[in-house]
Chains A and B, each alone.
Chain A
Amino acid sequence: MIRTAKLALEDGTILEGEGFGAETIKAGEIVFSTSMTGYVAALTDPSFKGQILMSTYPLEGNYGVSSDWYQSEDIKAEAYVVRQVCNEPCHPKSEKTLSEFLEENDVPGISGIDTRALTLKIRELGSMKAVVANADISDEELLKILEEQPRLEDMNLVEKVTVKEPKVLQERKEYNVAVLDCGVKKNITDHLIAQGVGVTLVPATTSAQEIFDMDVDGVLVSSGPGNPENVEIIQDTIKEVSQKMPIAGICLGQQIIALTFGAKIFKMKFGHRGSNQPVKDLKTGRVYMTSQNHSFSIDENTIDDTDLEITQINLNDGTPEAIKHKTLPISCIQYHPEAGPGPHDSKVFFDNFVNTIKEYKGNKG
């Protein structure tokens, strides 16, 4: 039985489509991603908290859902907008259909939407508030929900996705890393574990002292959802910890680190989301294909007044993609070296981080 579902946008547009997933209504900021594979990883990426994901690729659900691909325990995106959803997936790993997966997670989906037309709208008007209703609801009520929905930049989303208690993911090793969980992805911690280091996930609110008490050798500030300015507390931690050990940051992590050292952040018109973003290493000239998912960026013009320097840039729009501290062992990137979804080209980030830790500890000790 096909249910008629609705998608309403902040500019008053109301689109009809077919509902799938949970019969519910969810609001958030609508964003598009151009990745052609990896919907399971994207939906479960905590960075999508507060956002309605729309895939520009028109066919989703083709290879079903496997828990192997989860980036967190459940779906974090608020809703999913697609052109066509596949209900007969075909993959040996598939455990359920995309629709079943959404239903299980109480997330509504809408298909039959002209996603390209909507992408063009977002490209022109910027990301906006939206609501997906896979339920009977009048247009007026829908628009009312929309009106009441706060803006993404005003929300503190990190607190919704961070761990409540420290969690040991990998028992102590010769070198140990604390991951400041702003909404970490499983691939990030998996990559660290694969480096042979001990890994402990800690809440985003963990203080520097608590980290020192854990006796770790480095801190990774993870990716996560929302506005970096809304998690000021992390800046204090970073400032203090950076005097004692190497720090790395990914995505939201980079933005928070940049803020910590005086750079400014701005909200992009519609962000970067996809698996094909070209990033150039300014030193080697090599270009990497990267997986990206961010709404905010460092304002490159504010870097000069800080102790930070840009080491990599995005070739599409020139925004900073990687920065490092001129004196302290801090380096971070705006994209996702852990992939999931997306290319594995920049895995070297984890090698570099762990090597920095080793060197730093060696020099110190």
Chain B
Amino acid sequence: MPKDENIKKVLIIGSGPIQIGQAAEFDYSGSQACKSLREENIETVLVNSNPATIQTDIETADKVYVEPLTAEIVAKIIEKEQVDAILPTMGGQTGLNIAVDLDKIGALDGIKVLGSPIQTIKDVEDRDLFAEFMDRLNEPIPKCHAVNSLEEAFEAVEDIGYPVIVRPGFTLGGTGGGIANNKKEFEEIVIHGLDMSFNDQVLIDESVLGWQEIEYEVMRDKNDSCIIVCNMENVDAMGIHTGESIVVAPTQTLSDEDNQKLRNASIKIIKALGIQGGCNIQFALHPETREYKVIEVNPRVSRSSALASKATGYSIAKVSSKIALGMTLDEIRNDITKETPASFEPAVDYVIAKVPRWPFDKFKTSSGELGVQMQSTGEVMSIGRTIEESLQKAIRSLDIDQDAFEYVEYTDYYLEHATDQRLFYVYSAIKDGRDIQELADITKISPFFLNKIKSIVDCEEEIQKQGVDILKDPKMFRKIKQFGFSDKRLGQLLDLTEDEVSKARHDLNIIPEYKMVDTCAAEFEAKTPYYYGTYDSPSDMKTSDNKKIAVLGAGPIRIGQGIEFDYCCVHAALALKDENVETILINNNPETVSTDYDISDRLYFEPLTKEDVLAVLEQEKPDGVIVQFGGQTSINLAESLNNAGVKILGTPFESIDMVEDREQFTEVLNELGIPQADYGIANSFDEARDAAHSIGFPVLVRPSYVLGGRAMEIVYDDSELEEYMKEAVKVSKEHPILVDKFLEDSIELDVDALCDGEDVYVCGIMEHIEEAGIHSGDSACVIPPQSVSQEIIDQVEEYTKKLALRLGVIGLINIQYAIKVDPEPKLYIIEANPRASRTVPFVSKSIGIPIAKIASKIMLGSKLSDFDLVNYADIKHVAVKESVFPFLKIPDSDSVLGPEMKSTGETMGIDKNFGLAYYKSQLSASNNLPTEGKIFLSVRDLDKPKIAPIAKKAKELGFDLIATKGTAEAAPDVDIEVIRKVSQGSPNIRDAMLNGEVAFLINTPSGKQSADDGYIIRRLAVELGIPYVTTIAAANAVLKAIEEASNGELTVKSLNEYAE
């Protein structure tokens, strides 16, 4: 039966900014949904507040709204666009929440909800409804009781039985829980938990810790046809969030009997829920008894479904969208084979390994311990013919400066309590000869996987035993490569260089062959497969002789290198397609649009290392490679590719080096007459101190050659500097430390420009809201600048043009400037990057011009004069970018901003003036600014002179004010109620926040240490979801925004309308 003809116009809800737990996978699914619906001649409307997405490109949907994802706003879009239906299941949890909220405010009358009915969403989201539902189905779930006293707790444990997990209902950082195996432990933990809980409640859960965690991706259509797209096995047992686990697909240790049992349960559940589309079901499976429990049901596409899609070649999002329209599985075509229908279960003939990428390098105070809360920001997927190969490929895909398993010091505590280092601890323990069963007992990792790591260890020992002769034995050499060892690792093991090993390998003609991901294990011919490298047989792949270009991706999403870079890679691929050039894409991130099989002509799912990339290039022999778009990951490969004779398109490799080498860069700046802050280069503490003294504190210190401000700090004296140097040396051994004069209190500007070698086009100048010193990726910014004189703007344009031309930029360049008032405003350059920056999508959407696409075409030889460009200063609206932070997800992290980047994603607010645009950007970042209530003020001494006008303004807007004593005294003319600090006894600000009396906080940090009052207040604000700012500049912006927003209702406008 064909699709429902009453549905003509559908609103697709996106998932908003990239956050931990909700990343690029929903850009992938939303984009797929739009594509899929448009194929069926459905008019599509899309809403998402995240500008760094392919789905918010105006080419993706018929109408695109970059607006806050709240029910009120979305309701306005529904009303304005007169849609027939909404599709909320592509937007992650955000999408589902909005659907439920829309229903609540009555905005769905007469509007169809596609995919999962509202009742289904409620049935799986609400703990009690879920329990009832599963009970009716006779499917087991772990028992759980919420109790308010020790007595009730004992009743609960009577019903559940030991062991149980006790979790306090609500505490700071989720602390205070534990596992109780007996009455004594139980009593202790419950009493403590009740004490810790802010709402005097503890939750008692039946423990399934240590059980295997298994996932099924199920699809169903209206005919009740059901399929399993993929099942997956978590290497880490229950107790560690699946997003934090190493995952393999398909399952490895499930017998057919186990598999069919869980498959049957999955199908039973999806049928009972009435889902039309995809659904993810998580099970806990007892390793001995094989008893199972249903842990979670997600009636939508998810991170796991993105992984399953990339793992099998079966696009769950695309097929789900068509099913949502009323089509059936057998009416939908399998896009990979083109001949067979989508009503089948993919068969794979390889092993997928997914390994998460964690941000603990950014949060030094965090222990890195993993648990039920997701903390990773991204993941890599690797494909191999064995687990050994897949795991080793995954490790080198992570881009963590580690090419393989490496021996590290470990403790048994950390074998048991997983951290981001666990894989290496386990390896080291096995290397030490520890018993596999013993390790299985400690880690709860199945001996199956431990034995696979052991076989890597055994192979390494064999390699070292045989020595370099092994490289002359083609059979053995091939076998080693089949285990996934990189040349670099073999070099380490054999005391050779990577190049020596690589040469020996090429001498024996041992090169990877590229096998296909084809959904069907070769049973049918594949028309649009993608590839992975392996060493099973000599290569016999035929590639085309057409003109082709390779684009290097950005690897896993991490803080500092987010979805923005994937966005650029996708644009490069699309631009090349426009020019009839074949595209080869190399990437390893399963969450992204770039690894969608229909973005490039040939996709290689491979690690982004020198060896793996060169192997693909040797196979494909492209006419050139684009390295500008994959962030530092691809830029870092430029040198080795260049040395290997690969043609790098666009800006020459030497220019990249010219800006990254500070001395060369200084020469260029001097030559052009562009001022920069004083600086020095240091290889030791002594050198750093000398530099700092000659420049004068405060100084900004950082290792050269790092992205995202990693290990960047502002230090104010010798002792801070000394401490920093100790850490920094660990971070980067090879590169020296840069010591820059820190331009305090200056305004920062970010510029993206295009250069074709002759002309320069300044795409946009962004004024940062927060002052210099806060990482540009963490600062909010606005296009066009709001408080910068024309004189300075002219100077920015002039410097930008001069520098771009001098560097020979062909493509994009990003330059950061600071304006220091001293006493006249003076412009300094902070840094330049001749590559795509993270602001490219924001700028593109602000000015309505796809600058990454233009950059790609310029690299192919087009000129700027070939394009119809607009001046950013002429746009009639204002666009604000705001950053989104993971503080809630990282226990104990402080929400203070600094030179080290901490944000995971961004939102964009767009409206007719700054106030409204900023308001929307905040709303999108879940900073729901109040229009009434109490504002709490507490600022550091440095900021006290600036607080009086803020207090006055807040009063004018009708807010009540409370403040700590010192802050209140700084605004003597304003009526401010004084409240005690946390350290001054009750009642204090903490109590006021807990009682819901505080609507907004302005708290600027006083020092570096986080164990102070300010930290507790900020942390509490994060956990209670109270909007806050930590800088004076942001406080001013917020008040301006509130003023504008109180003047009337927010309105919605599509990007298409802005572009008119």
* Beta-carbon contact of A289 and B523 below 8 Å: no
- Docked Cα-Cα span, A84 to B455, in Å, equals 13
**Given A34-B523, A38-B256, A343-B263: A315 touches B386 (CB 8 Å cut-off):** no
With CB as the reference atom, state the residue of chain A lying closest to B286.
Answer: A92
Select B252's contact among A59, A116, A342, beta carbons within 8 Å.
Answer: A59
**Looking at B253, B289, B341, B387, which has the most chain A CB atoms within 10 Å of its CB?**
B253
B370-394 CB mask vs A (1 if < 8 Å, else 0) is: 0000000000000001110000000
* Beta-carbon contact of B351 and A69 below 8 Å: no
Residues of B within 8 A of A56 (CB): 347, 349, 521-523
* Beta-carbon contact of B255 and A66 below 8 Å: yes
Kindly identify, within residues 112 to 162 of chain A, every residue whose CB is under 8 Å from any CB belonging to chain B. 114-117, 119-120, 123
Say how far B286's CB is from chain A's closest CB, in angstroms. 9
Residues of A within 8 A of B343 (CB): 278, 280, 287, 315
A168 within 8 A of B: no
* Beta-carbon contact of B330 and A36 below 8 Å: no
**Given A58-B350, A88-B451: A285 touches B344 (CB 8 Å cut-off):** no
* Beta-carbon contact of B223 and A284 below 8 Å: yes
A11-32 CB mask vs B (1 if < 8 Å, else 0) is: 0000000000000000000001
Say how far B214's CB is from chain A's closest CB, in angstroms. 12
A266-299 CB mask vs B (1 if < 8 Å, else 0) is: 0000000011111010001111110000000000
A72-90 CB mask vs B (1 if < 8 Å, else 0) is: 0000000000011010111
With CB as the reference atom, state the residue of chain A lying closest to B253.
Answer: A90
* Beta-carbon contact of A287 and B386 below 8 Å: no
B331-351 CB mask vs A (1 if < 8 Å, else 0) is: 000000000110111111111
A186 within 8 A of B: no
**Given A36-B250, A56-B521, A66-B255: A276 touches B347 (CB 8 Å cut-off):** yes
* Beta-carbon contact of B254 and A117 below 8 Å: no
* Beta-carbon contact of A57 and B255 below 8 Å: no
B205-243 CB mask vs A (1 if < 8 Å, else 0) is: 000000000000000000111111000000000000000
B119 within 8 A of A: no
B195 within 8 A of A: no
Residues of A within 8 A of B346 (CB): 276
**Given A90-B448, A276-B347, A315-B341: A285 touches B256 (CB 8 Å cut-off):** no
* Beta-carbon contact of A119 and B223 below 8 Å: no
Say how far A82's CB is from chain B's closest CB, in angstroms. 11
**Given A56-B349, A69-B255, A285-B1: A278 touches B223 (CB 8 Å cut-off):** no
B329 within 8 A of A: yes
Say how far B609's CB is from chain A's closest CB, in angstroms. 23
A257 within 8 A of B: no
B446 within 8 A of A: yes
With CB as the reference atom, state the residue of chain B lying closest to A18.
Answer: B479
B264 within 8 A of A: yes
**Looking at B223, B287, B446, which has the most chain A CB atoms within 10 Å of its CB?**
B223
* Beta-carbon contact of A274 and B347 below 8 Å: yes
Kindly identify, within residues 249 to 269 of chain B, every residue whose CB is under 8 Å from any CB belonging to chain A. 250-260, 263-264, 267
Residues of A within 8 A of B345 (CB): 275-276, 289, 343
Kindly identify, within residues 312 to 365 of chain A, every residue whose CB is under 8 Å from any CB belonging to chain B. 315-316, 339-345
B315 within 8 A of A: no
* Beta-carbon contact of B260 and A59 below 8 Å: no
Residues of A within 8 A of B263 (CB): 343-344
Say how far A322's CB is from chain B's closest CB, in angstroms. 16
Residues of B within 8 A of A57 (CB): 250, 347-349, 521
Say how far A321's CB is from chain B's closest CB, in angstroms. 13
B520 within 8 A of A: yes
Residues of B within 8 A of A59 (CB): 252, 351, 386-387
**Looking at A36, A41, A66, A120, which has the most chain B CB atoms within 10 Å of its CB?**
A36
**Looking at B228, B253, B522, which has the most chain A CB atoms within 10 Å of its CB?**
B522
With CB as the reference atom, state the residue of chain B lying closest to A4.
Answer: B475
**Looking at B260, B385, B537, which has the most chain A CB atoms within 10 Å of its CB?**
B260
Say how far A257's CB is from chain B's closest CB, in angstroms. 26
Say how far A43's CB is from chain B's closest CB, in angstroms. 12
A99 within 8 A of B: no
With CB as the reference atom, state the residue of chain B lying closest to A347.
Answer: B264
Say how far B712's CB is from chain A's closest CB, in angstroms. 45
Residues of B within 8 A of A119 (CB): 349, 521-523
- Docked Cα-Cα span, A41 to B259, in Å, equals 13
A37 within 8 A of B: yes
Select A62's contact among B252, B344, B520, beta carbons within 8 Å.
Answer: B252
* Beta-carbon contact of B349 and A116 below 8 Å: yes
Select A90's contact among B1, B227, B447, B525, beta carbons within 8 Å.
Answer: B447
With CB as the reference atom, state the residue of chain B lying closest to A275.
Answer: B345
B536 within 8 A of A: yes
A48 within 8 A of B: no
* Beta-carbon contact of B386 and A277 below 8 Å: no
**Given A116-B515, A119-B521, A286-B225: A316 touches B348 (CB 8 Å cut-off):** no
- Docked Cα-Cα span, A57 to B249, in Å, equals 11
Kindly identify, within residues 273 to 289 of chain B, every residue whose CB is under 8 Å from any CB belonging to chain A. 287-289
Report, as a range, how many residues of chain B touch the other chain: 35 or more
With CB as the reference atom, state the residue of chain A lying closest to B454.
Answer: A88
With CB as the reference atom, state the residue of chain B lying closest to A55.
Answer: B349
Select A34's contact among B227, B448, B520, beta carbons within 8 Å.
Answer: B520
Residues of A within 8 A of B260 (CB): 339, 341-344
Kindly identify, within residues 720 to 750 of chain B, every residue whose CB is under 8 Å from any CB belonging to chain A. none
Residues of B within 8 A of A38 (CB): 255-256, 259
- Docked Cα-Cα span, A93 to B261, in Å, equals 15
Residues of A within 8 A of B520 (CB): 34
**Given A119-B521, A286-B225, A344-B264: A276 touches B253 (CB 8 Å cut-off):** no
B407 within 8 A of A: no
Residues of A within 8 A of B1008 (CB): none
* Beta-carbon contact of B344 and A316 below 8 Å: yes
A101 within 8 A of B: no
- Docked Cα-Cα span, A58 to B390, in Å, equals 12
- Docked Cα-Cα span, A339 to B260, in Å, equals 9
Select A278's contact among B255, B341, B387, B525, beta carbons within 8 Å.
Answer: B341
Select B257's contact among A68, A123, A343, beta carbons within 8 Å.
Answer: A68
- Docked Cα-Cα span, A89 to B347, in Å, equals 22
Residues of A within 8 A of B385 (CB): 58, 83-84
**Given A92-B287, A119-B349: A62 touches B536 (CB 8 Å cut-off):** no
B716 within 8 A of A: no
Residues of A within 8 A of B251 (CB): 37
* Beta-carbon contact of B351 and A285 below 8 Å: no
Say how far A212's CB is from chain B's closest CB, in angstroms. 38
B44 within 8 A of A: no
B826 within 8 A of A: no
* Beta-carbon contact of A69 and B256 below 8 Å: yes
* Beta-carbon contact of A90 and B521 below 8 Å: no
Select B522's contact among A37, A92, A116, A280, beta carbons within 8 Å.
Answer: A116
A164 within 8 A of B: no
- Docked Cα-Cα span, A7 to B301, in Å, equals 44
Residues of A within 8 A of B254 (CB): 37, 63
- Docked Cα-Cα span, A175 to B263, in Å, equals 32
**Given A62-B448, A119-B522: A289 touches B344 (CB 8 Å cut-off):** yes
Residues of A within 8 A of B250 (CB): 36-37, 57
- Docked Cα-Cα span, A157 to B237, in Å, equals 46
Interface residues of A (CB under 8 A from B): 32, 34-38, 40-41, 56-59, 62-63, 66, 68-69, 83-84, 86, 88-93, 114-117, 119-120, 123, 274-278, 280, 284-289, 315-316, 339-345
Sample 28 A-B pairs with CB under 8 A, ordered by A number. A36-B348, A37-B256, A59-B386, A59-B387, A62-B252, A63-B253, A63-B254, A68-B257, A83-B385, A83-B386, A84-B385, A86-B448, A88-B448, A93-B290, A116-B515, A119-B523, A120-B522, A123-B525, A275-B345, A278-B341, A280-B343, A287-B225, A287-B227, A287-B343, A289-B227, A315-B344, A316-B341, A343-B263
Considering the complex of A and B, which 8 residue pairs feature the smallest CB-CB distances, nearest first?
Answer: A38-B256, A276-B345, A90-B448, A34-B347, A287-B225, A56-B521, A114-B536, A37-B256
